[in-house]
Each structure stands twice: as C-alpha cells, then as structure tokens.
Amino acid sequence: MIIGAPKEVFAGEARVALTPASAADLAKLGYECAVETGAGLLAGFSDADYKAAGVKVHKTAAALFKAADIIIKVRAPEAVEVKRFEKGQMLISFIWPTQSEKLLEQLKKAGVTAMAMDMVPRISRAQKMDALSSMANIAGYRAVIEAGNNFGRFFTGQVTAAGKIPPAKVLIVGAGVAGLAAIGTATSLGAMTYAFDVRPEVAEQIESMGAEFVFLDFDEADAQDGAETGGYAAPSSPEFREKQLEKFRELAPEMDIVITTALIPGRDAPKLWLKDMVEMMKSGSVVIDLAAEKGGNCDLTVMDEKVVSGNGVTIVGYTDFPSRMATQSSTLYATNIRHMMTDLTPEKDGKPKVNMEDDVIRGATVTHEGEITFPPPPPKIKAIAAKPKAAVVEVEPIDPVAVEKAKGKKQIMILALASIALLWIGSVAPAEFFQHFMVFVLACFVGFQVIWNVAHSLHTPLMAITNAISSIVIVGALLQTGDTGFFIKLFAALSVLMTSINIFGGFAVTRRMLNMFQRS
C-alpha cells in the first residue's frame, strides 16, 4: 500500500507528516511512500531529499490522493481535501473530533477510516505515538524563545563594568508537558523560574528542574490530587480559583515573563491571568499564552496576534508555536505516525489492520467502516485480584520496659566478655600490640560511621575519598613487605592486592560516572 503526505493547505502551516527518515522506516514495514511536490519545503525537506529516500513526488494533491491508500496529515482535512477521499482510504491526522462533528459526518459518508492523533490514549504503551505531547514539548520550548525575543533584557543575571543586571523572573502557569519544557528552557537560560500547578504532586518534579513551586495556603490544594484521567488537570472549585487568583496578584508585580499553558482538550481555556494582573506588571514584561486557540488564559489575549497593553506589557497569542519550529516538529510528528503504523502493521507486510480490540488503535479511531466510532470506550484495565486476608492471630501485648531491660542485660554481658578477652590478650601480647589494636578499632569505627551511613546518591563522589584512604593503606602495606616475618609479609601482600583492586576499580567507576555528565 501507498502512504501519501499532501502539502498542508491551512494558512501558515509549515509542518509535514512525512520526512525522508520516517519514509525509510515505513518502507521497512512494507509500505511505499509518496508526497505532494513542495510538501516539506517549509520544514526544510526538499523534493530531492524525498526522492533520495525512495519517495515518489506527485505534482498535485489530487494526484496524490488518487494514488495513495493512506493519507497522513498534520492539520485536520479542509473541505477541499475531504472531497478527494475515496471509499476505503485511511486518514491519520489531528482531527479534534469533539469540535469537528461536521467533519466526522463527512468522513463517515466518504467511507474513510480516520484515526485522530489527538485521541491516542495517554497510557504507557502509547507514549511513542503521543503527538500531543510531542507538539506541546516544542510549544513550551518555543514559548520561552518567543518571550526572550520580546523581552528587553537578559534572562540570566550579569555583573558588568557598566552595572549589575538582575536575572529575569519567569512564572510558568501549568506544569504539563508544555509547562515542563518551558521550565527547563527558562532555567537553562539562567532565569529565576517559578511554576504553579493545581496538582501538588508535580511540585517535586518542578523543583528537580531548578524551578520554585508556588504553593497555595489552601486546604483543598493539599486534599485534592488535582488530576483527571488522561494526565490533565481537573477543573478547580470556585474557592480554590479565588485563592489561586489572589496568589497570582501577589506575584504579578514581580514577574518579568509569564507563560500560561492551562488547557484541557475539548474545553475552553480557563481565565487565570486577568486584566488587573497585567496592569500590575512592569512595563516591558511579556505574557505568552499557549492556550490562545481556546480563548486564552489571559484576558487580553488576541488569537494569532501580539498586542501591547496600555502599561507596556506584551501579550503574545500565537497558536502556531510548533509550526515555527517546523523541522523539529515534523521530525517528531512523523516519528509518532511511524510508530502508529508499526502498531497497525504487526506482520510488516504493508497492510494495515485496524484491530478494534487494541486500546490504542480503538481510542484513536473516530470513523471506521461507514460508522462514527467516537467517543471510544474507556481503556480496558486488567483488575488485580485481591489478596486473601491473612488469618488474624492474637498476640500477647509486649511490655516495652521488659524489652529494654533484656536488651540492656545482653549489652552488659557482651561488654563483660569483651573486657575479659582483652585482659587475657593483654597479659600474653607484647606492648606494641595494644597501640596497633587501638588504631585498628578506631579505624573500623570511623570507617563504619563515615562510609556505611552515607546515602546511596553520594557513593560515587565518596569513592574518590576511599581511593585516597586506600592509597594510604597500600603505602603502609608496601613498607611492611620487607619485614622478615612470614605472616607480616602475607598480610602485607594481601593488603596490597585488595587496595590495588579498590583503587583501580574506584577510578574506573568514577570516570565512567563522570562521563555520563559530560556533553559530547
């Protein structure tokens, strides 16, 4: 079968659903690939690149639709494209079925099997096909770059001969995929980054990326998990929302850049950054609204436009952030589609099989065999059998006082026996023995307390210290190898052997760990 990628007809869309690299991977599944001439030009892929990868280039979209069995797109098909479909063809694209009832009816009437990349269920097995996350990741990164383009200062603080420049303060509202990408980018650029999310469980993740989580002094924030099925945040109560807005008003005068990402597919964007908050911000500040397509999180957002408020705050409402990084976006999206085709072609024979028993395929399929299959049923979850309750055994209550007394008696007996043993050794051993024995005991005690109780995360840097200790030991052992006593020579040789292994092994492991943190 032939997979075809037409040129996107949506105004300003630069992405393409097929790249030369993904075409080579699809060929391994038994498919032939085709594109419309100029389809990948805006994404940096020329017709020559496709031809070199074995992709056939058609001069017109009509010719491509006629030749292809499977059409892959980025944007949902426009009316002119729907008319080109023939019965039995397959469409893989963003479709947004919740808001596209008319389109679903048209695809049903045309007899098209349509799979919506925006409906891939958010389960572990489907992460490789999650195009929403791929595009959100790019949008979050690009939002920070766009903010820097409109911001009049450095992100990082600097001290120069001309004076001190404070670091920019960036607030990320929403810590989903886009929010986390924005946090990582802003932090790496040196900004003081703050982040808020209604899900308190993401606080640790935010802080691990170098940002500061904005907590609310509100019981509900701790009581609710804030999460909804599918990994999105759940709508908040009116009381929680008021507390949230109060916190934002407190932060508004301090923030230089605000990036809002709060959006749940199929719903209007919640208003989180109100007009009065914009008025509190300093002149030259920037608001990037990633929810502009659904009304925006900011009161002053205008879809697909950049506006400046009366007090000099720039509000950016662009909806094409992924398209502004078309090469990267196309590469990731084409990879998502390739993974989808891998699941659809288990035999690798170039023939897709729409298995409606598969949670991922069923969730993404919105029309099939002349029927609208949206919305899908909930994913099947295998129930875990409950463990049988253990029989209750009555146990007599334990007296803690008696336990402590028994433990104390045991310790006294051990100390008494140890003292007797030391006295006997002292009566028969030479005087130098106790001097060396004291050093040995102290070394064991210090080594146990210092090394044994160190957290696992510190073992690698600690290895460098143990190498230094081993070096001291090996020097002492080497000095003893010239002794005339057989046992002294034996123990010295064993000490040299063991400390050598520890030293060389320690340096090898330390070097390997350090290489993991070096940039290639």
Tokens of 201: 């469980």
Residue among 492, 480, 504, 135 at smallest CA distance from 324:
135
To the query of whether residue 318 is one of the catalytic residues in this protein, the response is: no
Residue among 33, 37, 110, 117 at smallest CA distance from 68:
33
Tokens of 76: 């949902």
To the query of whether residue 127 is one of the catalytic residues in this protein, the response is: yes
Q: Which amino acid is at 352?
A: P
Residue among 108, 71, 134 at smallest CA distance from 341:
71
Per the CB < 8 A criterion, the answer to whether 351 and 331 are in contact is: no
Q: Which amino acid is at 23?
A: A
- Unique residue bearing structure tokens 């720039």: 314
375 preceded by a cis bond (ω within 30 of 0): yes
Query: Per the residue annotation, which of 46, 99, 127, 435 is the catalytic one?
Result: 127
Per the CB < 8 A criterion, the answer to whether 359 and 123 are in contact is: yes
Give 110-150 as a DSSP string.
HT-EEEEGGG---SGGGGGG-HHHHHHHHHHHHHHHHHHHH
d(CA 268, CA 488): 82
Backbone angles phi, psi at 491, to 5 degrees: -70, -35
Residue among 45, 30, 280, 28 at smallest CA distance from 5:
45
To the query of whether residue 133 is one of the catalytic residues in this protein, the response is: yes
Q: Beta partners for 116?
A: 93
d(CA 27, CA 34): 11
Helix, strand, coil percent content, the chain, rounded in steps of 5: 50, 10, 40
Per the CB < 8 A criterion, the answer to whether 225 and 197 are in contact is: no
Query: Per the residue annotation, which of 89, 93, 100, 133 is the catalytic one?
Result: 133
To the query of whether residue 232 is one of the catalytic residues in this protein, the response is: yes
Per the CB < 8 A criterion, the answer to whether 318 and 330 are in contact is: no
Query: Per the residue annotation, which of 15, 89, 100, 130 is the catalytic one?
Result: 130
**CA dihedral of 64, 67, 69, 72, whole degrees rounded to 10:** -10
d(CA 92, CA 77): 10
Query: Per the residue annotation, which of 75, 122, 241, 324 is the catalytic one?
Result: 122
DSSP 268: P
Query: Per the residue annotation, which of 50, 141, 194, 232 is the catalytic one?
Result: 232
Q: Beta partners for 298?
A: 273
Name the residues annotated as catalytic.
122, 127, 130, 133, 232
